[in-house]
Amino acid sequence: MKQRTAASLVAAAALLAIAGHFTGIPSLVYVFKPMATLFIAAVAFTNWRAQRDRYSLWVTIGLICSLAGDVWLLWPARYFLIGLLSFLGAHLAYLAAFTRRIKFPARPFVWLLYAAIGFGLWLFLRPGLLVSLRAPVAVYTFILATMASQGMGRFLILRTSTARLAAIGAIFFMISDALLALDRFRRSIPASAFLVLGTYYLAQWLIASSTRATPEVTSLSV
């Protein structure tokens, strides 16, 4: 799938999913929320088929896990934990991609900084969490922060355009999840659907775009 075509499809599906939230038409959300992620996954999968590198493979796996999470979380009251586990798998897959030939932690100080931010977020959310959710959310937040920190540390080492895309995408993933958690467990955020989904799709698009062919990606394919 060509990058420009994919970008148009993702933007259209994302806007329709967001419109579904604001207009109260659930069918738009059910159809187009996972569809936008599917189009993003197609970008990474196409790049993997062309390059056969492990970085693109792990990113593709992460997007497939995200797609599963999108579907489960269409019914959050019933399938929240399964959705959480699906996205946990996505972050572990992204972490696997970001550790291709780059040791963990890529930059220990960055990891500690991101972990501290994640811990602070969990402490803020803790009063609004059910007791049964406190441990799962803590583990999820730690893995999310670890993945994002590795993405940034990897960029600080490689200094390539694709590594920058992945690092920024991981940051937007943290922002999206933080907004979602604050809206769900602390207090309602105005226009939360636009903010959460907008940052989420941007995060996934940037990470998927980091699989494009570059000398860096080729060197990490073995």
Q: Provide the residue range defining the domain that includes 103.
A: 3-219
pLDDT in the model for residue 2: 75
Q: In the structure, what pLDDT confidence band is assigned to residue 213 with cuts at 50, 70 and 90?
A: confident
Q: In the structure, what pLDDT confidence band is assigned to residue 215 with cuts at 50, 70 and 90?
A: low
- Tokens 């995408």 belong to 169
Of the chain, the percentage scoring pLDDT greater than 70 comes to 95
Instruction: Check pLDDT > 60 for residue 218.
Output: no
Q: In the structure, what pLDDT confidence band is assigned to residue 98 with cuts at 50, 70 and 90?
A: very high
pLDDT in the model for residue 3: 78
In terms of C-beta distances under 8 Å and separation of at least 24 residues, what long-range contacts does 49-55 make, across chains too?
50/213, 51/211, 51/213, 51/217, 51/218, 51/221, 52/221, 53/217, 53/218, 53/220, 53/221, 54/97, 54/100, 54/220, 54/221, 54/222, 55/97, 55/100, 55/211, 55/217, 55/220, 55/221
pLDDT in the model for residue 221: 46
The arithmetic mean of pLDDT across residues 80-91, rounded, is 97
Averaged confidence pLDDT in the chain = 93
> Number of structural domains, the chain?
1
Q: Specify the pTM.
A: 0.92
Q: In the structure, what pLDDT confidence band is assigned to residue 1 with cuts at 50, 70 and 90?
A: low
Left, alpha or beta for 188 (phi > 0: left; psi -120 to 50: alpha)?
A: beta
pLDDT in the model for residue 214: 66
Instruction: Check pLDDT > 70 for residue 220.
Output: no
pLDDT in the model for residue 222: 40
Q: In the structure, what pLDDT confidence band is assigned to residue 103 with cuts at 50, 70 and 90?
A: very high
The arithmetic mean of pLDDT across residues 18-43, rounded, is 96
pLDDT in the model for residue 101: 87
